[in-house]
Amino acid sequence: MSGGYDFSHLFPANTLAFSPGTTFLAVAHQNRIIVRSTSTLQIVRTWECILPPEATTYGPKELGSGSSVAEATSEAFSIDTLQWSSDSMYLLVHSKEAKMAWVYGVAQEGEAARVGGMGIEGLSRVKWGKGDREVLAWTEVDSKLYIYSLSSGEARLIQNVKPSADGYTYSPDSRYLAVTEKHLGKEYIGVYDILDGYNLLRHFPLLTVDVQGVSWSPCGKYIAAWDSPLSYSLHIHSAIGPHLTHFNPSSPAFSLAPNETPGLGLRALAWAPGGRWIAVGGWDGKVRIVESDGWRCVCVITCGTRANKTATVWREPHDWLRDTRGRGIVQFDRQPHPVTFPALRPDITKPYPRMGISHLTFDREATLLLIRLDNQPNVVHIYSFLPTPASEQPTVVHTSKLSVVTRSGGVYFWDRESGWIEEESGGNLECDREIDGVTGGMMEGVGIPTRAEFPALDIHWSPDGRSLAIQDRDHFCLLYDEDTENLEDDEQGERSMLMWNEQSEGLTDVLEEEEGHISLSEGLPSREQFFWGKEGLCDG
């Protein structure tokens, strides 16, 4: 069990993002951007996103020029996404309501660039490119992808792109960009060379009807493309174009039981680190592990409503938040078998019923696989995948399950390496049961110490794993693990003086501004998130 946690005050925020080096925390509140020091939460920089006086789509010439406050309107709107550049020198901001994007330099007072407009031709999505100071911007109406260069002010255009959020993927070395396109009623993958100015390198057809997304394997050899939700269809292409396999219910290794139907198509897909296996989750509630050697299904995982006898089951103590008043760390109860998990009955008369695999993810070493079913909203399944990172074959064992609660005043942690405390031992005996070399770890709930209601709706691990940002709809706070805060005296001194390494984040001067905050002890004037941290899994 952890030694304890520290919480910061509550601050206003609609969305936030840690910088890659964890030095900064960018926060958006309405149309205002605030950059804070992660260690002290003091303000480093503030900006206000300004709309132009006219609804105009900005082209390449306007990209590098900022606009003054006097020329802008004062209409308030909300910011949806914040994204840091890889060197933490720039911040990309996007508003779906305004259909615009802004780029701010941390070392600059005003905006560095503005992209998009208020009209129907505005931007639907923006991302940082893998090239040097490049912004990718999608428009849905004319199906175009713009690549803007902040360095030169130039723009390149890819036409007839599919509007899917998963319709593009990068090669592992970030040299090439693969984009799904549609030309004359047929679907294609276009591979573009980033270092050659996004010139088209390859263009090959897909065998899909309505491709939903593509994913480049971590090894760089394969590109996976999955089809419409109405069809259980996964196509694997070589990175240079040839079609390698089509994984569907008619495949010899699909492993269908007698009189069993696969239902609808795919819902989730995840490559294991290394690219040797790919996990495929469908609407039928099963996860199939496909191996690149022969493209055969080597394992089928079925998450039922009853736990198997070798699984560790953690259950949240009843009313622990009320009993502790949000100021305690409570170990979850380890449940004896048999255990039945609560499940929803899907309404198949409505589109997109709550059923099937909704979330799949591997940890960084491919030793664990997390699975979540849409009809089991209060349960997370964690399987061991590889016994060790160097293992040649997967060994799938159901190691642990977590009962999760959303919109509550607590945060929940599962630590694979820790043991649980035996109550009969007076709290002094730490033990765990090992099955096939795998342990169930430890599960605990941490109350957020506030007298007012603070439902945790979203969480974000810092890149260094030392802090966790917790959000509700309008506010956030930071949680610090005391075990990671035992720094040397000189390091603590550097933190108290708000100084950091110039080479790590590129900024040496800190501008402090006054801003009110809300104390956690004073009070305040449906979704679920799962993230792998350095110490395990967290859900809020």
**335/309 Cα distance (integer angstroms):** 11
DSSP secondary structure letters along 329-378: EEEPEEPPSP-B-------TTSSS-S-SEEEEEE-TTSSEEEEEETT-TT
E strand or H helix at 203, and its extent?
A: strand 199-205
Distances in Å between the Cα of 82 and the Cα atoms of 33, 239, 406 are: 9, 31, 23
Dihedral Cα 56, 62, 63, 67, nearest 10 deg: -80
Q: For each of the domains in the chain, give its residue range(s) and CATH number, in order of start.
A: 119-248 (2.130.10.10)
Question: Are the C-beta atoms of 264 and 374 separated by less than 8 Å?
Answer: no
Give bridge partners of residue 403 from the DSSP assignment: 379
**Each residue's pLDDT tens digit in the chain (540 positions)?**
455 778 888 888 989 999 998 999 999 998 899 999 998 889 999 999 988 776 444 443 344 444 433 344 445 788 999 999 988 899 999 998 888 899 999 988 888 988 875 445 678 889 999 877 899 999 877 788 999 988 888 889 999 999 888 999 999 999 999 999 999 999 999 999 999 989 999 999 999 999 999 999 999 999 999 998 888 999 999 999 999 999 988 887 776 666 666 678 899 999 999 999 999 999 888 999 999 988 988 888 888 788 877 777 877 777 777 777 667 677 777 778 788 888 888 888 887 788 889 999 888 888 889 999 998 888 888 888 876 655 555 655 544 333 343 556 677 777 766 554 444 444 443 444 444 444 567 777 778 777 667 777 888 888 888 888 988 888 898 888 765 555 433 444 333 333 233 334 444 344 434 444 443 433 333 345 544 444 444 443
**272/384 Cα distance (integer angstroms):** 12
Distances in Å between the Cα of 514 and the Cα atoms of 36, 43, 104, 244, 318 are: 12, 8, 21, 60, 41
Check residue 428 and give its pLDDT.
40
Check residue 491 and give its pLDDT.
41
3-state secondary structure of 382: strand
108 Cβ contact partners less than 8 Å away, ≥ 6 residues apart: none
**What stretches of 7-123 show up as alpha helix (H) in DSSP?**
60-63
CB atoms within 10 A of CB 245: 16
3-state secondary structure of 485: coil
E strand or H helix at 489, and its extent?
A: helix 489-496
